[in-house]
Structure 1
Amino acid sequence: MSTFSAPKGIPEYLPPESASFLAVRETLADAARRAGYGYVELPLFEDTTLFARGVGESTDVVSKEMYTFADRGGRSVTLRPEGTAGVTRSVIENGLDRGQLPVKLYYSGAFFRYERPQAGRYRQLQQLGVEAIGVDDPALDAEVIAIADEGYKRLGLTGYRIELTSLGDDSCRPAYRAKLQEFLRGLPLDEETRRRAELNPLRVLDDKRPEVRDLLAEAPLMVDHLSAEAKEHYEQVKGHLADLGVEFAENPRLVRGLDYYTKTTFEFVHDGLGAQSGIGGGGRYDGLMAELGGQELSGVGFGLGVDRTLLACQAEGLTVGEQARCDVYCVPLGEVAKRRLVTVAGELRRAGVRVDLAYGGKGLKGAMKGADRSGARFALVLGERDLESGAAQLKDLGSGEQRPVPLESAVDTIREALRP
């Protein structure tokens, strides 16, 4: 029995499930690439202040969930809990905001939050995100939402919905904030929730406790207090989504867990996942660039949970990704045959064919069991008699049909047999 185990709350993906994980991530990334987004590789940890200022000190992410520590130089650093602040910092630091706008980037990888582990909620979570920075255009908001929707559709998902709202802007949020705080002060809230109401009242609307949600039934809603400009922006986003054929449901009580969101805010919800039903979400952030030392430029983006999207696929019974690890499984019978098949396997791989080989001197029966487990379409068997005749036996593992294949033309013959 192993002395060590993986850290609590961190999923590991092993074959064959890892093939599905990779397929989910690649399908979502491909949707971003086809819309002109270029890849950015972000640091796994950053200056703690970046997240405190960028994400918001009143959020649960900053106040309760971040992995923060002092490095050997005494600097406070934090394992990244989300991607937008890091992308924005990189855009500013590398001067991308001084070039063609919008800057369109996508990223993927591990993010870290200290949470109570449960199904769909991990301490190391995998995300794919996009950010479009520099242009405040409702059509860009719609594009970002449509990219995620397209990625989910290409995976075959059908059991999700898009929830949409607007959180207003600086022209209407202060007045709404005061109105909401006045309402909340009249409620019998616990002390921690009261403190949250004074610091960031919108966060109270995100409270999941049934008793608190009942108290909030008559709370004023941001969408009823939008300025004329913010309302027009919201209407245009909805119009563009309709033009793109993206279905959505308005949810005026939608509140994302990060402070930087303004105007368009959205979430992808899959009810097949139970309590952790959000599989992705995002929105527009008007003040983040300036808050982090850059220009007064707006941005819009999303973060999609790769782990949760995989769980959603499994909940719908979808098989995504190529489960077979190879196309051809080579079965040598004897050392001389092994040397010959190792060479053939190398030639096949250089020709783009996925090939595995029965190592360890297995007999024919054991080697063929390995071939079946590999998911290969064909087994290439070579024994002493085959060496004498100069032809291996190519067996179709689906039909059981077997035929001799001259070794000198094995690569071309197998490539032809693998064609659809």
Structure 2
Amino acid sequence: MSFSQALSGLKAASKNLSVIGNNIANSATYGFKTGTMAFADMFAGSKVGVGVRISNVVQNFNDGPTITTDRGLDVAISGNGFFRLEAENGTIFYARNGQFLLQPDRTITSMEGFKLTGYPVDNGVIQQGANPVPITIPEGILGAKQTTQGFMQVNLSSTSPVITAPFEPSKPDTYSWVTSTTVFDSLGNAHNMNLYFVKTADNSWEMYYQDGSVANSPVVPDPTPTVPPAPPAAGIPITFDTNGNITSINGSTPPDFTFDITTEPLNGAPSFTFSLDFAKSTQQNLSANSVSNNFQDGYAPGEFVGFQINDDGTIEGLYSNQQRQLLGQIILASFANPEGLQPEGNNVWSETRSSGQSRVGIANTGSLGLLVSGALESSNVDQGQELVNMIVAQRNYQANAQTIKTQDQILGTLVNLR
């Protein structure tokens, strides 16, 4: 019996050395998880054991150190969760290694060619809860967006003199100040809208606008006298209170300080109307009229120049017009028992009955961990501990070999009895 006990010990120690060697070999493998051999004793109907057997190889899913790479396609998971990958045949795998590649067909894959999956985008909105699909990075242009609304915060100097002469855009002495805002039509043409301000009395102003990108465009309201002669049309009225706060514009009172501006047709694009909000504009005694804030929601078309993976897993396309567009969102998968996952090699695991079914979601929700863009999770192998484990396994092997040697000596003594 001693021979079988020792042989089982030799086998177990050898397998343990294999596990330790595999850990050490993968100490530089990103996302690798340490394996530990679990042993169980064996009995055969008596209180004297008949040796040892290998019960399982338990994986340690604690986080490995996160290292910064500054590579756009590197993503680390901090905490619970796995990347969900799809093979060409539709098989689903799970990984902690966040080293990804961009393939010629614009899909994002692992180094082994498995496609990274996530939530798709529809009309710029992430479809959370939809069936996960392979993430692709399209290279098409981002079409123009026509301006629908704008915001401008100005300060009109209270020391500006009152203008009595009829307004004419070609005569600077008939208006107090001119500024402009750029808006975009449906084809992405820029319209430089000139805004003319005329102080008509204390705390009272009028405004005219003109599409400066179109030659000979009319001024609105039209200040030209009609025939038969009549007074010029008044501009859009703006009034302030004695504290310099705007009280009305074109008849609108708080909280609505917007009015509509219509552009002229340009390069095949029709005219369009957008609303301009002058809320928070003031009249204060500054040395000059000024614009402190100017925003509008349109933009020209742009060419694709790159993409960025954010820490929440969203992927944004970057375009030459300084705009961004959502392209998808990386999802994470969690399991009731990660130690029940089946290692498949190539830095991936597969789902088993023991692990339970995967539960998918986005990073930093529920039990799922964080994503760190431009970083990778290192192996969680502790080389110092593994070297100590190797010495212990070696001694176990030697001790079991010594058991065989001792049993052999005892048998030799019995054989030599006369």
Give the TM bin, normalised by the shorter chain: under 0.3
Larger relative contact order, structure 1 or 2 (CA cutoff 8 Å, min sep 6): 2
Q: TM-score, normalised by structure 2?
A: 0.22
| Higher helix residue share | 1
Q: Which has the larger radius of gyration?
A: 2
**Which structure is higher in strand share?**
2
